[in-house]
Each structure stands twice: as structure tokens, then as C-alpha cells.
């Protein structure tokens, strides 16, 4: 296992995702696991109550809204919103793997937060950005490899965006400084984001040996190796720690 400390989200350059070609006859398995924050006995960082302005407070009916950069489930230490992806991913061999033909993935601005906070998608897949709030948002993407974008959106606006290069980058709102989201773009379909239970699942991965990366916006990335066999779910969980200073 290796760990990298610095700029984890921006380190995914064009050449970082190596492609290995597997025969079309290679059969597939699944990769499942959990992402866990390993410093359970350390000072727990958790959701911080956001200081919303008047309009955004009203948009949440006066209810408190928590930050989303670090969400550790207290019951079992699992960590949400971790991108998990196969580093040496096999090249796609069949049309069924072509996510670009599927419906768009939605990034919504609602209650002055992004929904979801972290998403992944393939190059060429349509991302639909929309504003469900009755106020102006300004979605400002900060990629370093793909073209940047900066869109003002009133209530009900939608905009479709696609990306051509693999990269993980931040999105922010220029109107509301607490708003942020992360987008992971990959040139293969073998990626996921850990859910509210800290669980992830990557399906239809051809049998083979892989390096798999889990990357969190605050705590950085962890890489592990795994062997996927045909028809069997391979389990690979990640412990993610606060980097040592």
C-alpha cells in the first residue's frame, strides 16, 4: 500500500490512467468494499455547521446544514464520498461498456449545496448541471487539464457539459463560498464513490490483477492491489488516515 499526501485530487494527469488491453473473451467479476477513516481514536473531524446567508437559510427551512468534505459515520468509522477507481483499467471491448450512450449524470444546486457532493463519470458522458434554488448560483469548475467552465444559473437553469480528459477536480460557487463539489472523470467505467455507508461497488471488471486507488478530498489517496476472478465479488476495503505532519 502506498500513500500520497499532496494534492490528491489534482494528481490524476492524462497519463495517470494506464490502459491494459484484455481479450474480449475475458470474463468479469465485481469489486466491492468500504472506505474507512482509520483514526478512530484520534480527534474526529466531522460535519461542521455551515454559516449560510439569509436566502440559503430560508432555502433549507431554517434547518442546519453540515459541511460535506469529511463525513465519518460514527457507528463504524466508515468514510463517505471517497472516489475509488481502477488505475490500470482494461480498455473497453464492447459497446455495452460505453457509458456515453447512457443518460446524463445530474449535478444539482439545491439548498445552497451540491448534490451529489462527489460524482464520477466517463469522458464523453453528459453531465447536466442544474439549479433547483430560487436564487442565483455560479458554478465554477476548476479543472487543470480539461477546459474550465464558469456558469451563472438562475432557478430552473440547466447546462450540459462533457469532459474529454481523465481528471479529478473541484467545483465551487462564486456566490456562496461554502459550496463545493468534486468531479472525477475517467476514460473507463471502473470507478465509484463510496456512499452514505462508506460502501462502493465496481461491476463488470474483467478478471485480472489491478491497482485500485481510493482518494478523498481532504485525506489523500491510498493504492492497493487486488486480483479479480470471473464471477466472484472481490473485496477490497481502504483505510484512509489523516496524513502525518
In the block, residue with C-alpha cell 472523470: 185
Instruction: Confirm or reject binding of residue 139 to Cu ion (CB under 5 A).
Output: no
Residues 2 and 223: their CA atoms lie apart, in Å, by 6
> How much helix, strand and coil, in percent to the nearest 5, is found in the chain?
5, 45, 50
Per CB under 5 A, the segment of 15-23, 145-153, 159-167, 175-183 that binds Cu ion is 175-183
Other CB atoms within 10 A of residue 113 CB: 25
Counting residues that bind Cu ion (by CB under 5 A) gives 5
Q: How far is the CB of 193 from Cu ion (least distance, A)?
A: 22
Residues 106 and 103: their CA atoms lie apart, in Å, by 9
Q: Which of 117, 137, 140, 216 binds Cu ion (CB under 5 A)?
A: 137
Instruction: Confirm or reject binding of residue 173 to Cu ion (CB under 5 A).
Output: yes
Report cis status (omega within 30 of 0) of the bond before 243. Answer: no
175-196 burial, b at 16+ Cβ within 10 Å, e below that, comes to bbebbbbbbbbbbbbbbbbbbe
Which residue, 79 or 171, is less far from Cu ion as judged by CB? 171
Instruction: Confirm or reject binding of residue 130 to Cu ion (CB under 5 A).
Output: no
Residues 48 and 155: their CA atoms lie apart, in Å, by 27
- Among residues 3, 61, 58, the alpha carbon closest in space to that of 216 is found at 3
Per CB under 5 A, the segment of 14-22, 115-123, 137-145, 156-164 that binds Cu ion is 137-145
Measured at CB, which residue is nearest to Cu ion? Answer: 173
Which residue, 81 or 109, is less far from Cu ion as judged by CB? 109
Instruction: Confirm or reject binding of residue 52 to Cu ion (CB under 5 A).
Output: no
Instruction: Confirm or reject binding of residue 176 to Cu ion (CB under 5 A).
Output: yes
Instruction: Confirm or reject binding of residue 140 to Cu ion (CB under 5 A).
Output: no
Instruction: Confirm or reject binding of residue 175 to Cu ion (CB under 5 A).
Output: yes
User: Under the rule (CB under 5 A), what is the footprint of Cu ion?
Assistant: 137, 173, 175-176, 179
Amino acid at each position: 500500500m502506498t500513500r500520497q499526501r499532496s494534492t490528491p485530487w489534482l494528481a490524476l494527469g492524462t497519463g495517470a490512467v494506464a490502459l491494459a488491453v484484455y481479450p474480449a473473451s475475458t470474463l468479469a467479476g465485481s469489486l466491492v468494499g468500504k472506505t474507512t477513516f482509520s483514526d478512530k481514536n484520534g480527534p474526529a473531524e466531522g460535519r461542521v455547521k455551515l454559516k449560510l446567508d439569509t436566502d440559503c437559510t430560508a432555502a433549507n427551512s431554517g434547518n442546519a446544514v453540515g459541511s460535506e468534505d469529511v463525513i465519518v459515520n460514527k457507528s463504524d468509522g466508515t468514510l463517505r464520498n471517497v472516489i475509488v477507481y481502477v488505475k490500470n483499467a482494461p480498455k473497453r471491448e464492447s459497446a455495452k461498456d460505453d457509458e456515453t450512450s447512457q443518460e446524463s449524470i445530474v449535478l444539482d444546486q439545491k439548498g445552497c449545496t451540491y448534490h451529489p457532493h462527489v460524482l464520477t463519470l466517463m469522458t464523453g458522458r453528459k453531465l447536466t448541471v442544474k439549479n433547483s434554488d430560487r436564487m442565483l448560483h455560479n458554478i465554477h469548475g476548476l479543472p487543470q487539464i480539461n477546459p474550465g467552465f464558469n456558469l451563472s444559473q438562475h432557478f430552473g437553469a440547466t447546462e450540459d457539459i462533457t469532459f474529454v480528459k481523465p481528471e479529478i477536480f473541484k467545483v465551487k460557487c462564486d456566490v456562496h463560498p461554502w459550496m463545493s463539489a468534486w468531479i472525477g472523470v475517467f476514460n473507463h467505467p471502473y470507478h465509484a464513490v463510496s456512499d452514505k455507508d462508506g460502501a462502493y461497488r465496481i461491476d463488470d471488471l474483467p478478471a485480472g490483477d489491478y491497482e485500485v486507488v481510493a482518494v478523498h478530498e481532504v485525506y489523500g489517496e491510498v493504492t492497493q492491489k487486488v486480483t479479480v476472478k470471473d464471477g466472484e465479488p472481490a473485496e477490497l476495503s481502504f483505510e484512509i488516515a489523516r496524513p502525518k505532519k
